[in-house]
Amino acid sequence: MEQILQRLTSLGVEAERALQGAADRAVLEQVRVRYLGRKGTLAAILRGMADLDPVERPAVGKVANEVKRRLEAALAARREAIEATVRQAALAAERVDVTLPGRPVPMGRLHPSTQILRRICQIWADMGFQVYRSRDVETEEMNFELLNIPAHHPARDMWDTFYTTTEGVLLRTHTSPGQIRAMREYCPEPIRVILPGMCYRYEQITARSEIQFHQVEGLAVGRHVTMTALKGTLVDFAHRMFGADRKVRFRASHFPFTEPSAEMDVECIICEGRGCVVCKQSGWLEILGCGMVHPEVLHNGGYDPAAFSGFAFGMGPERITMLKHGIEDIRYFWANDLRFLEQF
């Protein structure tokens, strides 16, 4: 019995020293297994109690329990100390300096074409025109025939486009087919809509021509729509868009889907009419095409040309942006070059 008590005492001293010397989690675990584990020293001593006289066992058991409790407490204390050290180290290593200035987030902005489209839509909305969205993929009939451009018409040569693998289905060359769709939807109600959207043409890409570009089309149909209404409305638009005292002029022109047709010029916004490179010394910039809706087109839209009349116009937002900022190359718009885009 003396011997076993001695072993318990020296185990206690030795194990306690080992626990205190354990520097990290791994060593601590090794020490725990060695002294307190199921195959450890303490367990071995306790197994030796079987050889003792039953009368002596309670006294030895009491000492053994005390040693065990003391070692477990020491183990827990050491574990807590090690965890605290690890936490402190992590805090020190991952410390955030809240006084550092933040990293700036790059600010996005709207594409110049989107900006001008929104401006144009806003002006027409103020004037009572609603936006009518029409499809980019059209039938040949909608894009040409119903707009008074039959297959033999020479205007078709200027408007070659991208055809799909389905016969008679193509990417629209202008927003005008939307006129037919709007008329067929609203007939016989009066119409005041604008139709903004992307158009496509099969062209060689140069500084002046792209295979895709925006158009904003406008259409008004009613019982007493006159050429005077067309002129008054477009002059008002030009004043809202380019300035209230901007001079405006109309020149006779030709489009298959309007009769009579005109083109509208505004006084050059770069040189104020004095003459410059952008306006080719004329003092005028061509801004849009317009005219009274051709009776054939009204008829194709479902309206009786004897009772209804209408006007239509179309403009190119990219062209307006180019004129406004003196941009010489239309390819910049879709080249995704930030040096260009960040200027707007």
Q: Which residues bind Zn ion (CB under 5 A)?
A: 268, 270-271, 276, 279
Q: How many CB atoms lie within 10 A of CB 210?
A: 18
Task: Write the single-letter amino acid at 152.
Answer: H
Give the residue with the Cβ less far from Zn ion, 5 or 270: 270
The first and second tokens of residue 22, run together, are: 């354990």
Helical H runs in the chain?
A: 2-21, 25-36, 41-47, 57-93, 112-126, 140-143, 155-158, 177-186, 227-242, 295-301, 317-325, 338-341
The number of C-alpha atoms within 13 Å of 138 and in the hemisphere containing its C-beta is 29
CB of 244 to Zn ion, least distance (A): 19
| Phi–psi pair at 167, nearest 5 degrees | -60, 135
What residues contact 315, with CB distance under 8 A and at least 6 apart?
Answer: 120, 215, 216, 287, 288, 289
The first and second tokens of residue 213, run together, are: 């570009």
CB of 166 to Zn ion, least distance (A): 46
The number of C-alpha atoms within 13 Å of 299 and in the hemisphere containing its C-beta is 8
CB of 286 to Zn ion, least distance (A): 12
Give the residue with the Cβ less far from Zn ion, 227 or 270: 270
The first and second tokens of residue 295, run together, are: 């009776």
CB of 269 to Zn ion, least distance (A): 8
CA of residue 80 relative to chain centroid, distance: 51
Cβ atoms of 119 and 237 closer than 8 Å:
no
Give the residue with the Cβ less far from Zn ion, 56 or 286: 286
CB of 289 to Zn ion, least distance (A): 20
CB of 284 to Zn ion, least distance (A): 8
Give the residue with the Cβ less far from Zn ion, 8 or 241: 241
- Specify the DSSP element, H or E, that contains 310: strand 309-315
Q: Taking CB positions, which residue lies at the least distance from Zn ion?
A: 268
CA distance 195 to 117: 11
The first and second tokens of residue 20, run together, are: 């205190």
Give the residue with the Cβ less far from Zn ion, 115 or 282: 282
Residue 272 DSSP one-character state: T
Give the residue with the Cβ less far from Zn ion, 11 or 268: 268
Give the residue with the Cβ less far from Zn ion, 29 or 286: 286
CB of 175 to Zn ion, least distance (A): 28
